[in-house]
Amino acid sequence: MDARQRSPFTLAVTLVALVFLFVPLLLVVLFSFHKTGGLSFPFTGFSLRWYRDTFGSFEFREALKNSAIVAVSVSVVTLILGTLAAYGISRATSRLRAPIGLLFFLPITLPGLFIGIAMLVSFRRVDFQLSLATVAIAHFVYVFPFFLLIAKAALDRLDPALEEAASDLGASPLKVFRKVTLPQVWPILVGATSLAFALSFDEFIITFFVIGSDSTLPMYIWSSLRRTIDPSINVISTMLMLITLLLWVIAFAFTLRAGRGRARPVDPILGGEQT
């Protein structure tokens, strides 16, 4: 039953928007392979010299390493605390459910600028040395609501009868979670964790205030933007986009996987059933 409509105007807008979205990003990738140092047309030929330069740079490797350390710690902590919290809030009947839900959602509503400076003054107030640890804490606050929203939506969609049946047959709450709940939602949790990783890996607005003297990949790009432009910034930008894109593909694939075996396919992007 194809109720598909013909809509040339909306199709045209979509195509123009795709060009608008992709051309700037593809130009960055294109110029990362430029033979000369030029950053504008004419494009004179391909070479990998900027990739060699960049990977040879100690600062770049250091920034990449720091970004990875922060993003891995943030994802692990978010996966554990986020899954517990999502399960708790999704199964709760207590009156405290609403205020806790609000607290979990609140960081999304505040611009990063405010979160960043509030954390800066607080860390300074208690003499907590700014480091990668403070960056990881700030990133946790930032990515937690995103993880929670996805995980909670997945848990809310489950058929409660399955858990109740297991519980009535004598399984402990932990066993119910491990044997009944987790097998149904783990692909979504993997997807949400890679989203957390990607968000942390690319975060700049809050990071800027709480980082101290270390560097991350976005910080490295930021400082290159302030200096004279060197084509290696295209390389670093391309790497950063490639890594986050890879994580998005993982998230997308796992969410698609979560939809298999159901009567109706699950929408890979929004979750929920496709209609």
Partner 1 sequence: MSVVAHEAKESAWRGRELRIGPLVLTLPAVLGLVVFFLAPLAAFILYSFLTAGLFSVSGPLTLDAYRQAVSSGVNGTLAVNSFIVGICAASVTLVVSLPIAYWLRYAAGRWQTLVLFLITSTLFASYLVRIYAWRSILGENGLLNSGLERLGLIEEPLSFLLYNRFSVTVALVHIFLPYVVLVLYAGLRPLTPALLESAEDLGANAWKRWRRVILPLIAAPGATAFLFVFVLSAADYVTPQFLGGTNGAMLGIRIQAAMTGVGDWPLGAALSLLMLGAFVFCYGLTALGLRLLRLDRIRFVN
Q: Looking at this protein, which amino acid is placed at residue 103?
A: L
Per the DSSP assignment, residues forming a β-bridge with 273 are 266
- Residue 63 phi/psi, 5-degree rounding, is -65, -40
Least distance to partner 1, CB of residue 216, Å: 11
Structure token digits, residue 237? 């930008």
- Residue 273 phi/psi, 5-degree rounding, is -90, 140
Binding to partner 1 by CB under 8 A, coded x per residue (else -) over 58-77, reads --------------------
- The whole-angstrom distance between residue 14's C-alpha and the CA centroid of its chain comes to 25
Least distance to partner 1, CB of residue 101, Å: 9
Instruction: Return d(Cα 57, Cα 223) in angstroms, integer.
Output: 15
Binding to partner 1 by CB under 8 A, coded x per residue (else -) over 109-148, reads -xxxxxx-xxxxxx-xx-----------xx-xx--x---x
Q: Looking at this protein, which amino acid is placed at residue 264?
A: R
Among 19, 48, 76, 84, binds partner 1 (CB under 8 A): 84
User: Which C-beta is closer to partner 1: that of 48 or that of 80?
Assistant: 80
Least distance to partner 1, CB of residue 106, Å: 7
Count of CB atoms situated within 10 Å of the CB of 12: 10
User: Which C-beta is closer to partner 1: that of 94 or that of 213?
Assistant: 94
- Residue of 212, 38, 84, 70 lying closest to 142 (CA atoms): 70
Q: Interface residues for partner 1 in 163-202 (CB under 8 A)?
A: 163-164, 167-168, 172-173, 198, 202
Among 45, 161, 169, 183, binds partner 1 (CB under 8 A): 161
User: Which C-beta is closer to partner 1: that of 84 or that of 182?
Assistant: 84
Burial class (CB in 10 A: 0-12, 13-18, 19+), 200: buried
- The whole-angstrom distance between residue 103's C-alpha and the CA centroid of its chain comes to 20
Among 63, 79, 89, 132, binds partner 1 (CB under 8 A): 89
Q: Interface residues for partner 1 in 37-56 (CB under 8 A)?
A: 39-42
Q: Interface residues for partner 1 in 195-254 (CB under 8 A)?
A: 198, 202, 204-205, 208-209, 218, 221-222, 225, 229, 233, 237, 240-241, 244-245, 247-249, 252
User: Which C-beta is closer to partner 1: that of 72 or that of 117?
Assistant: 117
Least distance to partner 1, CB of residue 48, Å: 20
Contact 143, 79 (CB under 8 A): no
